[in-house]
Chains A and B, each alone.
Chain A
Amino acid sequence: MFNLFSSELFRMRKRAQSLMLFLIAVVLSGLVYGGFVIATKINPEAEGRRMRHAVTFEEYAEFGIVMSVGFFAGIMLIIVAAGMMGNEFSWNTLRPLVARSRSRVGLLTAKLIALGLYSIVFVISLALVVAGFFFIGSWVVGEPSGFSISILGDGLQSALQMLFSNLPYLTMAFMLATVFKSNAAGIAGALGVTFIETPVFQLLGLAGDVFKDAEKWGIAYNVNKFAGMTGEVDNMTRSVIVVVAYSVAFIAVTYAVFLRRDVTSG
Chain B
Amino acid sequence: MNTHPPVTATAPAGIGKRGNGNGPVLQLENLTKKFGDFTAVSHLSLLVQQGEVVGFLGPNGAGKSTTVGMVLGLIRPTEGSVTIMGTELPGNQHIVPENVGAIIENPAFYPYMSGRDNLVAHARMVGGVPASRVDDLLKLVNLNERGKDKYKSYSLGMKQRLGIASTLLTDPALVILDEPTNGLDPAGQREIREIIPRLAQDGHGVLLASHMLHEVEQVSDRVAIVRRGELVTEGGVDELLKRGGYIEVKIAPEYMDEARNLLHRMPGIEQVTVSDQLITVVADPELGADINRALVGAGIYASQISPRRSSLESLFLDITEGSTV
User: Which A residues fall within an 8 A CB radius of B?
Assistant: 2-4, 6-7, 10-11, 14-17, 91-93, 95-104, 262-264
**Contacting pair B124 A91 (CB below 8 A):** no
**Contacting pair B73 A100 (CB below 8 A):** no
How far, in angstroms, from A128 to B129 measured CA to CA in the complex?
39
Find residues 108-139 in chain B having any chain A CB closer than 8 Å to their own CB. Answer: 108-113, 117, 120-122, 124-127
Minimum CB distance partner of A93 in chain B: B108
**Contacting pair B100 A99 (CB below 8 A):** yes
Q: For the complex of A and B, list the 6 residue pairs with the smallest distance between their C-beta atoms, beginning with the closest.
A: A92-B108, A102-B94, A7-B124, A3-B127, A7-B125, A263-B74
Of the residues B66, B104, B113, contact of A95 by C-beta under 8 Å: B104
Of the residues A4, A17, A104, A264, contact of B125 by C-beta under 8 Å: A4
**Contacting pair A93 B109 (CB below 8 A):** yes
* Closest-CB distance, A82 to chain B (whole angstroms): 17
**Contacting pair B111 A91 (CB below 8 A):** yes
* Closest-CB distance, A232 to chain B (whole angstroms): 46
Of the residues A16, A92, A100, A262, contact of B75 by C-beta under 8 Å: A262
24 chain-A/chain-B pairs, Cβ below 8 angstroms:
A3-B126, A7-B124, A7-B125, A11-B113, A14-B112, A16-B112, A91-B108, A91-B109, A92-B106, A95-B72, A95-B74, A95-B108, A96-B102, A97-B125, A98-B73, A99-B73, A99-B96, A99-B100, A100-B126, A101-B93, A101-B125, A103-B93, A263-B74, A264-B69
Decide if B97 is an interface residue (CB 8 Å cutoff). Answer: yes
Residues on the B chain within 8 Å of A4, using CB: 125
User: Could you list 9 further interchain pairs (A-B, Cβ under 8 angstroms) beyond the known A98-B72, A99-B96?
Assistant: A3-B124, A96-B102, A99-B100, A102-B97, A102-B98, A103-B93, A262-B76, A263-B75, A264-B66
**Contacting pair B97 A99 (CB below 8 A):** yes
**Contacting pair B97 A14 (CB below 8 A):** no
Residues on the B chain within 8 Å of A16, using CB: 112
* Closest-CB distance, B93 to chain A (whole angstroms): 5
Minimum CB distance partner of A103 in chain B: B93
Residues on the B chain within 8 Å of A102, using CB: 93-94, 97-98
How far, in angstroms, from A255 to B121 measured CA to CA in the complex?
23
Contact flag A96-B108 (CB < 8 Å), given A262-B69, A263-B75: yes
Interface size on B, residues (CB 8 A): 31
Residues on the B chain within 8 Å of A99, using CB: 72-74, 96-97, 100, 102, 104
How far, in angstroms, from A96 to B126 measured CA to CA in the complex?
12
**Contacting pair A100 B113 (CB below 8 A):** no
* Closest-CB distance, A93 to chain B (whole angstroms): 5
Find residues 64-98 in chain B having any chain A CB closer than 8 Å to their own CB. Answer: 66, 69, 72-76, 93-94, 96-98
Q: Mark B50-66, 1 if CB is under 8 A from A, else 0.
A: 00000000000000001
State the majority secondary structure of interface residues on A.
helix
How far, in angstroms, from A99 to B110 measured CA to CA in the complex?
15
Find residues 139-183 in chain B having any chain A CB closer than 8 Å to their own CB. Answer: 166
How far, in angstroms, from A103 to B166 measured CA to CA in the complex?
19
**Contacting pair A7 B97 (CB below 8 A):** no
Minimum CB distance partner of B98 in chain A: A102
**Contacting pair A91 B110 (CB below 8 A):** yes
How far, in angstroms, from A92 to B110 measured CA to CA in the complex?
9
How far, in angstroms, from A50 to B67 measured CA to CA in the complex?
71
How far, in angstroms, from A134 to B73 measured CA to CA in the complex?
54
Contact flag A10-B74 (CB < 8 Å), given A15-B112, A93-B108: no
How far, in angstroms, from A104 to B75 measured CA to CA in the complex?
12
**Contacting pair A10 B121 (CB below 8 A):** yes
Residues on the B chain within 8 Å of A92, using CB: 106, 108
Residues on the B chain within 8 Å of A7, using CB: 121-122, 124-125
Minimum CB distance partner of B108 in chain A: A92
Residues on the B chain within 8 Å of A96, using CB: 102, 104, 108, 122, 166
How far, in angstroms, from A91 to B104 measured CA to CA in the complex?
13
Minimum CB distance partner of B106 in chain A: A92
* Closest-CB distance, B119 to chain A (whole angstroms): 11
**Contacting pair A14 B102 (CB below 8 A):** no
**Contacting pair B124 A10 (CB below 8 A):** yes
**Contacting pair A264 B75 (CB below 8 A):** yes
**Contacting pair B125 A103 (CB below 8 A):** no
**Contacting pair B74 A262 (CB below 8 A):** yes
* Closest-CB distance, B17 to chain A (whole angstroms): 15
**Contacting pair B108 A10 (CB below 8 A):** no
Contact flag A100-B125 (CB < 8 Å), given A262-B74, A262-B75: yes
How far, in angstroms, from A7 to B102 measured CA to CA in the complex?
18
Most buried by B among A11, A16, A99: A99
Residues on the B chain within 8 Å of A264, using CB: 66, 69, 74-75
Residues on the A chain within 8 Å of B104, using CB: 95-96, 99
**Contacting pair A263 B94 (CB below 8 A):** no
**Contacting pair B74 A14 (CB below 8 A):** no
